[in-house]
Structure 1
Amino acid sequence: MRKHLKVAVALAFAACLAVFALAGCSTSNGTSGSSSNSSATTDSATKTVVDAYGRSVEVPANAQTAATVGSGARFVVYAGAQDKLIAVTEMETDPAMNRPYAIVYKDLFANLPATSNGNHLMETNVNEEQLMELNPDVIISSRSAEECDALQEATGIPVIGISYQNQLFTENVYKSITCVAQALGTEDHAAEVVAKLKEWDADLTSRTANIPNDQKPTVYVGAVNYKGAKSFTGTYANYAPLVELNAINVADSTGQDGAVDVDLEQIANWDPDYMFLNAGNMDLMKEDYANNQALFDSLKAFQNGNLYTQPFFNFNGTNIDTGICDTYFIGATIYPDAFADVDLEAKYSEIYTTLLGADFYQTMKENKMGFKSLSFS
């Protein structure tokens, strides 16, 4: 009898231990397990993302929705999270060919509300009440750190800031793609994109790093858009593709950094070997040429037929994809031997497909956009 009683007590004690063990597998907030390494989260769980400005932002651990301010949607696409967008800007809902990401996803963007005018550098108007009504998990903004802080305080919605103006292969670009992906849960996609960016960077710099300066032609980039359309005299010092190619940009002699307005006499004094021009401003350039034909016809680039058009990549923020395509095109034009093995059309398709998820280069060709020689005669 005592033996049977001992067995019964032992079984009862074992059963109690099992109950306690099972109880210990779930926490009071409903997440599985007591370990902080558990992959399951509740709606109230958050994580910290450090944005491009170094701001530590608490975001939902499993964010499902995002809205954008400025040109933030561009980097949501680069991060592969466009399906999580529930609001964009007026510039995305009325897209133009000089913003490839907005053309590729025009059908998606057309069905989303616009909560701001979308300006990247100029004054931005944000409908904060509408944003709060939509209540996205995260806002992605290309505005300044101070503006990101103000918008986050006004709406109570986490704001992730990105920074990338006139940059192609920089830590800012890599961080901007990565922090958007971290906020929206597309880290694997972003890692692949950043890896390709670094691969192209290494390829471009290795092809041109050892070319002696006395074998480098001089280059001028004209009709550069900056806060409006420009003719020949709109140029860019420290122009990202030319920096990447270790090329001689005559505008760097101005000592400026960024968009510069020069005069025709200065261009004549520089007399560059090559000129790369924004065909989108062809009407302005034709007018300038007609009024100053003798000056232009005296330039080496005009005499030797070294005039080329390239899609300009800074339009309401920097189209990283087009900028890299421009870099390969310029490199193959001014250093033909160094780029002899590059299939440029295949490279353009690879770049757009990697960053946008679609081959925008085919759309460019259909719309007679591209990288080609130019004539004013």
Structure 2
Amino acid sequence: MAKLKRALATGLMAALLAFTLAGCAQSEQTPEGSANTGEASQEPAQQSNQVVDAYGRTVELPDSVETAATVGSGARFVVYAGGQDKLIAVTEMETEASPARPYTVAHESLFSSLPSTSNGNHLMETSVNTEELLSLHPDVIISSRSAAECDELQEAIGIPVVGISYQDQLFSDDVYTSIEVVGEALGTSDHADAVVAKMKEWQEDLDSRTASIADEDKPTCYVGAVNYKGAKSFGGTYVQYAPLEAVNAINVADEIGQAGSVEVELEQIGEWNPDFMFLNAGNMDLMKQDYANNQEFFDSLTAFQSGNLYTQPSYNYNGTNVEMGICDAYFIGFTVFPEQFSDLDAETVYQEVFETMLGTDYYQTMKENGMDFKQLSIAA
């Protein structure tokens, strides 16, 4: 009996030792800082919601972004990214619909119903009503201002600010990134990615139709009456005009050797003597006055003699209306390179661009308002 008791005691001690060692081994395998309890193991891991904006800034966002406000012309890209339903504040320039900003016309009922929290300037000095912004407490602010201004606003009011950058650009990494970043921030990436994918298709289509044409076989083109620092007549032009570049057309003003908008003398236009002229019909009064004062000069120009004077809506106003610039590029293609674009129906193309970018058939609205891509008669 004594031997049996000693045997039972020895077995019990061995079992207790094995149990203790197993417990220690399990404890060593438990991740540091977590309690080895069933309740703790069920806690979800914390996820950070970060986006890297167009300036390379890492912005920390709420887990779920339901509301957004805009500064500068950020609302334009909110529409492109399909997030307009999340807007709770825009700028004072956007609360009234304007054909110069098609996105405000396409979504007029929405924009007119929203409060404004800044003056809306895209490049010039802007002012933001931070007190009202704070009272609305949007989850995120989409801003087209500089990286420094995005930082300053974010630090001042404690609301994340996502920056976008796109001035005077159509098919560029800045434009693509800005649309994608807004979609990522607002949770509309599927829509934003689809828009970018379609834009890249248009970019390839426009380029491929004319890329193989030798420069000596291309007509020369001039863009006139563009607006910058006020309305301009024939002499207001663009160097490196994006819609012309998209179809590999020859822009006579490129010989100036700079980028952006400039004003040239009529004598310079006479020296260039372009085959085609694309003019901003919004400045028709100025052009008619110029024509009346210099009729002999203008009548001697090739474009006037051939009737190759065309209008296309300006695509830059307080930022770049990317959808309008794309339509302008296709219109140039239809006009300057008719053979290469003969398989396309112009109206169908314009409708597709506007519906993709703005979510509506804005082309019909344009025509109803007397705006279109068409031939001009300055003398009339």
Structures share a fold, TM > 0.5?
Answer: yes
C-alpha distance in 1 between matches for 2:350 and 2:146: 31
On the 8 A contact 2:284/2:378 being kept in 1, the answer is no
Residue in structure 1 matching 2:132, options 127, 130, 133 = 130
Q: Which residues of 2 match residues 361-376 of structure 1 at below 5 A? A: 361-376=363-378
List aligned pairs for 1:1-377, cutoff 5 A.
23=39, 26-27=42-43, 34-35=44-45, 46-377=48-379
- Confirm or deny: 8 A CA contact 2:222 2:252 kept in the other structure: yes
Residues of 2 paired with 1:366 and 1:177: CA distance? 29
Give the total of aligned pairs: 344
Give 1:229 deviation, angstroms: 1.6
> What is the distance in 2 between the residues matched to 1:21 and 1:227?
69
The one-letter code of the counterpart of 1:274 is: F
Describe the superposition over 1:262-290 as per-residue Cα deviations: whole angstroms up to 9, x where unpaired: 11111111110000001111111111111
* Amino acid of the structure 2 residue aligned with 1:319: N
Kindly report the root-mean-square deviation, in angstroms, between the aligned alpha carbons of the 2 structures: 1.3
The one-letter amino acid of 2:95's match is T
Task: Give the secondary-structure state (helix, strand or coil) at the position aligned to 2:226.
Answer: coil
Amino acid at match of 1:277: L
Length-normalised TM-score, structure 1: 0.89
In 2: Cα distance, 1:302 partner to 1:373 partner? 11
Residues 38-57 of structure 1 show CA distances to partners (whole Å, capped at 9, x for unaligned) of xxxxxxx6411011111111
User: Take 1:95 and 1:267, find their aligned partners in 2: how far apart are those partners?
Assistant: 35
Question: CA separation in 2, counterparts of 1:83 and 1:225?
Answer: 32
Counterpart position of 1:30? none
SS, match of residue 238 in structure 2: strand
What is the distance in 2 between the residues matched to 1:78 and 1:21?
49
Instruction: Mark the runs of 5 or more structure 1 residues left unpaired by the alignment.
Output: 1-19, 28-33, 37-44
- Looking at structure 2, the residues matched to 25 and 191 of structure 1 have their Cα atoms a distance apart, in angstroms, of 37
Distance 1:25 1:357, change over 3 A: farther
Change in CA separation of 1:98 and 1:148 when aligned onto 2, cut-off 3 Å: same
3-state SS, counterpart of residue 154 of structure 2: helix
Q: State the alpha-carbon separation in 2 of the partners of residues 231 and 208 from structure 1.
A: 30
Are the counterparts in 1 of residues 309 and 376 from structure 2 also a CA contact under 8 Å?
yes
Report % sequence identity: 66
Amino acid at match of 1:364: M
Aligned residue number for residue 40 of structure 1: none
- Asked if structure 1 preserves the Cα contact closer than 8 Å seen for 2:222 and 2:277, the reply is yes
Query: TM-score, normalised to structure 2's length?
Result: 0.88
Q: Describe the superposition over 1:274-317 as per-residue Cα deviations: whole angstroms up to 9, x where unpaired.
A: 00001111111111111111111111000100000001100110
CA pair 348-22 structure 1, distance change in 2 beyond 3 A: farther
Please tell me whether Structure 1 or Structure 2 has the larger radius of gyration of its CA atoms.
2
Displacement, 1:21?
8.5
Once the two structures are TM-superposed, the CA of residue 325 in structure 1 deviates from its matched residue by 0.4
SS at match of 2:94: helix
Q: Which runs of 5+ in 2 are unaligned?
A: 1-35
CA distance in 1, matches of 2:318, 2:97: 11
SS in 2 for 1:122: coil
- Residue 290 of structure 2 aligns to a residue whose secondary structure is helix
